[in-house]
Structure 1
Amino acid sequence: MLLEVKKLRTEFKLKRGTVTAVDDLSFTIDKGEILAIVGESGSGKSVTSLSIMGLLQKPGKIAGGEILFKSQDLNKMSQKELQKIRGNKISMIFQEPMTSLNPVWRIKDQIMENIMTHMKISKKEALTRTIEMLETVGIPSPAERANDYPHQMSGGMRQRVMTAMALACDPELLIADEPTTALDVTIQAQILELLYRMREKFHMAVLLITHDLGVVAEAADRVIVMYCGKIVEEAAVKDLFAQPLHPYTVGLLQSIPQIDDDSDKRLYMIKGMVPNPLNMPPGCNFSDRCDRCMDRCTKEMPELQDINGHKVRCFLYDKAKEGELSAK
């Protein structure tokens, strides 16, 4: 077990009240595994990654739970101890490379800084490794492009630079937060292929955060679906796409355009909006948007239950028998 998150709760204390961005979140990642977390904006995906990295900014704080990396609780570490792990054992590709890269530093200087912080090597050796990493992630003429500034590169190239920086110290866990956002489909496919190759080459685990189920189907081994800070479904990718259980997951999959759909057919849309986190509805958070809502759903929060390895948070499956996944 490489990473184990146990009952993680992350809160933001605001003047109008407390927002629980991540609530009772538990999951594991094994070595070499790609785990995807998917959900709408505001579901708690990015806050989960920042909680793991210890990069939450005030007023955010971890209010409960454990984050165990190789059996060590990251929550109990000092900032000095975390700095030895961040960028070294655990690396992150941030959501927007243009704002994550320093605009007044050359590409090589930003990657070399990370390498020299965590590895006891000379500046010359760090430069050699930087050029090797840029070549590994597919940047042409890496020795020349290493002297560029971020604005001189395209969005896809900047994403590759972020990937090279994250992989420079051979991390055991890579967190990729929306690594294909705002990229065209061709570059998106290249980035996903790159992540897959890097996983195979370095035998690292990947936590892939996205709102795109197409990306999940292409790259992940296992998937967690989040809604309002909670896990509503968790399964192997092939199982989730073959037989989604939670009405929210069903709605997400129905919202994906199909090649063989009638051009006159309206695309399915989940009704309503994500509830205000300061005024959450009683019972199930998805109840006011669910087509299969029952009276019980508006009063009680369902537990996350395991049905033959397929986890779901929904009262529809309360009496599911062993070997069955059909709703009552």
Structure 2
Amino acid sequence: MLLEVNHLKTDFKLKKGIVHAVNDVSFGIEKGEILAIVGESGSGKSVTSLSVMGLLQEPGKVVDGEILYKGEDLLKKSEKELQKIRGDQISMIFQEPMTSLNPVYRIKDQIIESIMTHMKLSRKEALARTVEMLKTVGIPSPGQRANDYPHQMSGGMRQRVMIAMALACNPELLIADEPTTALDVTIQAQILELLYSLRERFNMAVLLITHDLGVVAEAADRVIVMYCGQIMEEADVKSLFSNPMHPYTLGLLNSIPRIEDESGERLYMIKGMVPNPLHMPQGCPFSDRCDRCMERCTLEMPELKEVGGHKVRCFLYNQEAGKEADDR
């Protein structure tokens, strides 16, 4: 296992109380695998990735669990040790490239800095590596575009620059946080195809953070569905789409518009709102939005159990005898 996250808990201590942004989350990623974490905004996806990278800002703090990378717990490493790993063995593509790239530095200078920090190369060699990576991610005239500033590039090109920067030191694990947000569908498809081809070329593991199930279907091998800081369901991508189990997963899938649907009916919408993280319900956090809520759901938190190749946190499958409910 390349990365193994065990019982991770990340809290934000605020004046009004404590927000359990990531609450007892466990998962693993094999080398060369693409694992997608999907869920609504506020489900804990990005906080999970920042916890893995050691990039949480105050008041966020990992309060429990372990993050094992090649068997070593990253939470026990010093900031100096983490700096040697970040950008080298583990890299991250952030959500918005325009805010992640420094507007006053040329593209080449920002990538060269990363390369020279982690690889023993001269500036001339680092520049050649930069141009090579820009070419790898499909930027035309890479030698010329390396001299551009971020504002001189389109959104799709800036995203490609972020990918080039993340891949410059040949990482074994790439964390991609909403890599296709705000891009049109054509550019989105190109970015996904690029990530997939680079995974094949470098045998690189990818942790893909997204709210877009279309992206998940296109790129992922396995899927984790998160809600209110917890894993609601986990399965391989084919099983999740062909046989979704958790009512939240079903709601997300039913909310996707389909071209073949000619019924003229309004698009399905999950009722209600995500609960206030400072005032979580007593039982299942999805209980007040669930069409199949039982009294037990409002009183107890179901455990994440393995059922039919899935891991699912729901009393519909979490009966006393461990049997799946007959009617879904």
TM-score (norm 1): 0.98
- Contact 1:284 1:298 survives alignment (8 Å): yes
| Structure 2: distance between partners of 1:218 and 1:174 | 17
Q: CA deviation at 1:264?
A: 2.3
Partner of 2:220: 220
Compared with structure 1, are the counterparts of its residues 202 and 321 closer, same or farther at alpha carbon in structure 2 (3 Å cutoff)? farther
Q: Is the 8 A contact 2:316 2:324 kept in 1?
A: no
Show the counterpart of 1:116: 116
| Residue of structure 1 in register with 2:3 after alignment | 3
- Aligned: 1:231 with 2:247: no
* Aligned-partner SS, 1:316: coil
Matching residue of 1:16: 16
Q: Secondary structure in 1 aligned to 2:239?
A: helix
Between the two proteins, what is the percent identity of the paired residues?
78
TM-score in terms of structure 2 length: 0.98
SS in 2 for 1:104: coil
Shift of 1:263: 5.8
Q: Deviations over 1:269-310 (max 9, x none)?
A: 000000000000110000000000000000000000001321
Do the aligned partners of 2:318 and 2:324 also contact (CA within 8 Å) in 1?
A: no
Q: For residue 245 of structure 1, what is the aligned residue in structure 2?
A: 245
> 1:208 matched to which residue of 2?
208
Mapped to 2, the partners of 1:134 and 1:158 lie a distance apart of 11
Q: Which letter does structure 2 place at the counterpart of 1:291?
A: D
User: Match of 2:245, as an amino acid?
Assistant: L
CA RMSD in angstroms, aligned pairs only: 1.4
**Which amino acid is the alignment partner of residue 82 of structure 1?**
L
| Conservation of the 8 A alpha-carbon contact between 1:180 and 1:191 | yes
Q: 1:85-141: CA deviations, max 9, x gaps?
A: 000000000000000000000000000000000000111000000000000000000
Cα drift, residue 323 of structure 1: 9.8
SS at match of 2:234: strand
Matched, 1:65 2:71: no
Cα separation, 2, equivalents of 1:154 and 1:38: 26
Cα distance, 1:58–1:266 mapped onto 2, change above 3 Å: same
Deviation at 1:197, TM superposition (A): 0.6
Q: Which residue of 1 aligns with 2:277?
A: 277
Determine the structure 2 residue equivalent to 1:268: 268
**Structure 2 residue matching 1:183: 3-state secondary structure:** coil
Q: Residue 23 of structure 1: SS of its match in structure 2?
A: strand
Instruction: Provide the rounded CA distance (Å) in 1 between the counterparts of 2:88 and 2:74.
Output: 14
What is the DSSP-based 3-state SS (H/G/I as helix, E as strand, rest coil) of the residue aligned with 1:317? Answer: coil
Query: Are positions 1:307 and 2:320 aligned together?
Result: no
CA distance in 1, matches of 2:241, 2:324: 17
Do 1:307 and 1:325's aligned partners in 2 also have CA atoms closer than 8 Å?
no
In 1: Cα distance, 2:136 partner to 2:326 partner = 46
CA distance in 2, matches of 1:321, 1:34: 34
Question: Is 1:287 matched with 2:283?
Answer: no
CA distance in 2, matches of 1:236, 1:316: 20
Distance in 1 (CA, whole Å) between partners of 2:226 and 2:265 is 28
Against the structure 1 CA distance between its residues 58 and 299, is the aligned structure 2 distance closer, same or farther, given a 3 Å change threshold? same
Q: How has the CA–CA distance of structure 1 residues 272 and 204 changed in structure 2, closer, same or farther, with 3 Å as cutoff?
A: same
